[in-house]
Each structure stands twice: as C-alpha cells, then as structure tokens.
Amino acid sequence: MPTIRIVKFRPLIAIIFLFFFTAVPARAQNTEKTDFFIAPLAEILGYSRQGPSFGGGVAVGAGNGVAIGARFLYAVDTESVNTVELAVFMRFYPGGADACTGLFVQFNAGAFVLGLHEIPFAFAKSGSISAGIAAGWRFPLGERWYMEPSVRVGYPYMLGAGVAFAFRL
C-alpha cells in the first residue's frame, strides 16, 4: 500500500504562514476599504522542453499596499504535458500603504504537479515545490474592473507572461 509523504510539503506550509504573518501589520495600517479581488488569468509558461505551456486559472487576494492571496493555474504544452499549479502569493505595491493599482512586485510559492498525456492528480510522483517572482502593472478600467499584465521567473518554470482581467469587490 503506497504511503503519502507529507514531509515534502512542510517547507510549503512554513512559507504560507510566513506570508500571512508578514502581511498582517501592513494590512492593519489601512482601516478604511480593503481591496478584495478575483482575477481570471491566462499565461504562457516555460514548463517543459517541448515548448511553451498555455494555461488559465484564477487568483483571489486582498490588501492595500501589501496584498496576499492564492492562485490556481492549469496549463498544457504542445506535447500534452499537463501542469497544475497551486500557490500563495504576497504582492507589494511601491505606491504606498493605500496603493492597489500601478506597479507591483509579487512573490509566489506553492506546489505544482505534472502529468504526461493525462490530467495530474494531487498525489502524483512528479510534483514538487514551485517558487518565483513576478512584476506587473495593474491598469484600472473603471471603478471595479482592471487589467493586469505581468511577467514572472522562477522554478521549475523558467519564464512566464500573462494577463488577468478581473473584478474588485
């Protein structure tokens, strides 16, 4: 009977706690309206040697000046290598404690799972930890909508680019 190794995910759990505890003091500064967002996204990533991976997903987050959240991405390349990425993120807006538009720098950490010619599942043997940094710009499109192009580098992907078109709650 196969055993499930939780040991691989202990560093991921530590990173998640670090993100949330670091963001609490920054969010406490702004007692007015906190920016909550839901962002469907599309990305092109370099996950495999066969070519780029194309995918889509969703990100949810909250915060002004510093935002925290989670993201899900499903991508497939030209040779049917399927990738599922689950990550938490911490985003910094250099514009100040109340900023929620303009330039941002985002740190991502999580897990990814690969599957060849099939959709990967949670306990696949080919999964690992994923980490990276992204930079982008949030362009407001009215009071509630925005568009957010970004680029990112990290591990196990080498380079990625994407765009989110999202709604602020």
| Residue 18: CA count within 13 A, CB half-sphere | 11
For 39-90, write each residue's pLDDT tens digit: 999 999 987 677 888 999 999 999 989 999 999 999 988 877 888 899 999 9
For 30-42, write each residue's pLDDT tens digit: 345 788 999 999 9
CA dist list (Å): 123 to 84, 120, 128:
12, 8, 11
Domains, in order of start, for the chain: 7-22+34-168 (2.40.160.20)
Nearest to 157 by CA among 125, 123, 124, 134: 134
Its pTM stands at: 0.74
